Structure 1
Amino acid sequence: MVNFNRIVAVVDDDESVRRALKRVLHSFGVEAETFPSGEAFLSTLSSGASCHSACVIVDFQMPGVDGLELLRRLAPTGVPIIFMTGHDDPAVRNKAFAIGAPGYLKKPLDGVALIGAVEKALELPVLPKSSSPSWG
């Protein structure tokens, strides 16, 4: 296990996705905090709680504060945002990359692509590969 002392925030309105992402990230030695909505994540940040996210993995389409709105609000902080979506749209993907997103992942997520996006976002050396991350 590798411990980079960096926390990745996972923001998704689907609890099973949050659990799966946290489990996969943990299997690669990356700590994750999960949030059920953009509002919950922003509320935690504004409360001064000890969540210091090195990057955010966010569902592109959620009720309320969606991925793009979260990006807009976090832009001044420089925290990288990795988008994930079940509804891939090339125009949206291109826009995400144009504004500097280090990753844009399609659901169901691929563990290798997820870890690659986190490595890129955190500018980490390649993480050690664990045997076949499971999502179930």
Structure 2
Amino acid sequence: MGDPDPFVAIVDDDESVGRAIRRLLRSAGIGADAYLSGEEFLDTLSSMPSYRPDCVILDIQMPGLNGLEVQQRLGGSGIPVILITAHDDVGVRAQALASGAFGYLCKPFNDSLLIKTVQAALGIAPAP
């Protein structure tokens, strides 16, 4: 029996962005769930102990808990975090990476770059 398929959680308050990323990842053979808020994602994580994504993609700017706050709450979980944002800020980027983010991408990002970043976070060799 092989390893289960990799699975990513996407947290973005823009439903269309979450849907697009989920579709893109699935096209690369990576399963995904989308959440509209950091609170919704963290609630699922705490209420279902067996639920553990292999990677989390977090939007930085969201109402309620922002991506950096969710990243902080995931600290020590060992789950790789990729932050995405439409408003690049050098200070925020530095804070995210210093806090252990695996990646930091600016919207709109190139689809292949996102897939390569997720594959690297998951330890998957990219397809030739």
Could you say which residue in structure 1 is the equivalent of 2:88? Answer: 88
Render the CA deviation track for 1:107-129: whole Å, top value 9, x for unaligned.
11211110121022112211x26
**% of aligned pairs identical?**
49
Render the CA deviation track for 1:69-108: whole Å, top value 9, x for unaligned.
1111101211111000000001111222222211111111
Q: CA RMSD in A?
A: 1.6
Alignment gaps of 5+ in structure 1? 130-136
Render the CA deviation track for 1:54-81: whole Å, top value 9, x for unaligned.
0100101101111111111101211111
Could you say which residue in structure 1 is the equivalent of 2:60? Answer: 60
Give the AA of the match of 1:107. Answer: K
Could you say which residue in structure 2 is the equivalent of 1:132? Answer: none
Q: TM-score, normalised by structure 1?
A: 0.86
Report how many residues are paired. 126
Could you say which residue in structure 2 is the equivalent of 1:28? Answer: 28
Runs of 4 or more, structure 1, over 4 Å off, are none
The answer as to whether partners of 2:72 and 2:99 remain within 8 angstroms in 1 is no
Counting only pairs closer than 5 Å after superposition, residues 108-127 of structure 1 correspond to structure 2 as 108-126=108-126
Could you say which residue in structure 2 is the equivalent of 1:133? Answer: none
Alignment gaps of 5+ in structure 2? none
Structure scoring higher RCO (CA < 8 A, sep ≥ 6) equals: 1
